[in-house]
């Protein structure tokens, strides 16, 4: 070995020993905080707690779920963007703050600079449901109703810029119709008005809508993923109902403070992918209507950029503004 190669090797060894934030500091010495931008009991919280429990078992360190609700999840995202980048804080981020909100309002963080991709988490489609009084049983009938009676068909959402809102606007675009958007401050009031037939339809989270589908109070028309979820085999997708390629998923992904060292991010990726690949965890998530979506860090970054570009274009075309 010549002197130049020997010197390079010694430099690399020195860096490995002295550089802070390397994977040798894993797991963090203090309890890990997994931040969720929504209240306890929702899909994000359920997923976070299932995953956190297994993570804690695997790494031998406490993983505490911290619910920081408010502003559609943006409060939690800004909190993590400003948190110490030492590997002790993770966020189960969501499509709204990561890919939609940046195009609707000025935020205190940049999803691609102030947050670092770790791994995909879980996703689930919405299900388009209508009340019985609408008199439709298929998506084709729903579209025809919208065309026959312009301005008479409206749809509920959990708020302007939410995944349920953007799913409706994307469907407006693809179907060539003009449903009126009716925003609510959450899923419960939206569902209540749908059941009361004060709004025609709702792109709802499956756990919210399915009990009322089973009772016959709501009519399921289509789901918004590319394929039918295993727990909804009897409901067709929008894509297979005449609108190829239509996809509007709710998704949650793991991110960390933007300046977290790459070795720590890679180690967290390995641990999260391991948990999401665990058969027991997968079954528990599936029972909640959630599909595990483990990815590499690069795959998650590419996915986030694709989603961000799609929703940015739709927001501009449909002239959607924050309210």
Q: Tell me: the pLDDT tens digits for 192-227?
A: 999 999 999 999 998 889 899 999 999 999 999 999
For residue 24, the model assigns a pLDDT of: 65
192 and 203 inside one domain: yes
pTM for this model (two decimals): 0.86
Q: Is the pLDDT of residue 47 over 70?
A: yes
Q: What is the CATH number of the domain that holds 112?
A: 3.40.190.150
Q: Which of 203, 221, 241 is the last residue of a domain?
A: 241
254 and 297 inside one domain: yes
CA dihedral (37, 50, 209, 291) positive or negative: positive
Q: Which of 241, 264, 291 is the last residue of a domain?
A: 241
Residues in CB range of 147: below 8 A, 6 or more apart: 176, 177
The tokens for 304 are: 């986030």
207 and 299 inside one domain: no
137 and 224 inside one domain: yes
Q: Which of 189, 221, 241 is the last residue of a domain?
A: 241
Chain segment 222-247, per-residue pLDDT in tens: 999 999 988 899 999 999 999 999 99
The predicted model gives 11-27 an average pLDDT of 53
217 and 274 inside one domain: no
Going by pLDDT thresholds of 50, 70 and 90, the confidence category of residue 6 is: very low
Task: Give the residue numbers spanning the domain of 37.
Answer: 31-124+250-317
Q: Is the pLDDT of residue 115 over 60?
A: yes
Report whether 46 contacts 206 (CB < 8 A): no
Chain segment 88-101, per-residue pLDDT in tens: 999 999 999 999 99
For residue 89, the model assigns a pLDDT of: 98
278 and 290 inside one domain: yes
């Amino acid at each position: 070995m010549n002197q130049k190669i020997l010197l390079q090797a010694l430099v690399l060894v020195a860096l490995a020993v002295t550089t802070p934030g390397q994977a040798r500091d894993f797991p963090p010495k203090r309890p890990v905080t997994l931040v969720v931008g929504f209240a306890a009991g929702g899909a994000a919280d359920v997923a976070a707690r299932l995953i956190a429990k297994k993570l804690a078992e695997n790494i031998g360190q406490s993983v505490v779920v911290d619910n920081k609700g408010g502003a559609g999840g943006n409060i939690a995202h800004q909190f993590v963007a400003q948190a110490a980048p030492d590997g002790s804080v993770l966020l189960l981020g969501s499509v709204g703050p990561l890919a939609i909100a940046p195009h609707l309002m000025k935020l205190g963080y940049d999803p691609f600079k102030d947050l670092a991709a770790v791994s995909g988490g879980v996703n689930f489609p919405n299900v388009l449901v209508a009340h019985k009084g609408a008199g439709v049983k298929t998506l084709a009938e729903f579209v025809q109703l919208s065309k026959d009676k312009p301005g008479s068909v409206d749809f509920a959402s959990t708020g302007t810029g939410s995944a349920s809102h953007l799913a409706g606007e994307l469907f407006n675009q693809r179907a060539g119709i003009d449903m009126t958007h009716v925003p609510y401050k959450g899923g419960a009031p939206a569902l209540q008005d749908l059941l009361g037939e004060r709004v025609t339809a709702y792109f709802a989270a499956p756990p919210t809508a399915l009990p009322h589908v089973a009772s016959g109070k709501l009519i399921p028309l289509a789901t918004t993923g590319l394929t039918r979820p295993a727990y909804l085999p009897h409901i067709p997708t929008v894509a297979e109902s005449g609108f190829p390629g239509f996809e509007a998923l709710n998704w949650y992904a793991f991110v960390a403070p933007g300046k977290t060292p790459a070795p720590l991010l890679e180690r967290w990726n390995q641990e999260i992918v391991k948990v999401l690949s665990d058969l027991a965890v997968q079954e528990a998530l599936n029972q909640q209507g959630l599909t595990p979506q483990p990815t590499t860090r690069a795959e998650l970054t590419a996915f986030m950029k694709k989603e961000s570009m799609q929703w940015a274009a739709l927001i501009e075309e449909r002239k959607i503004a924050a309210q």
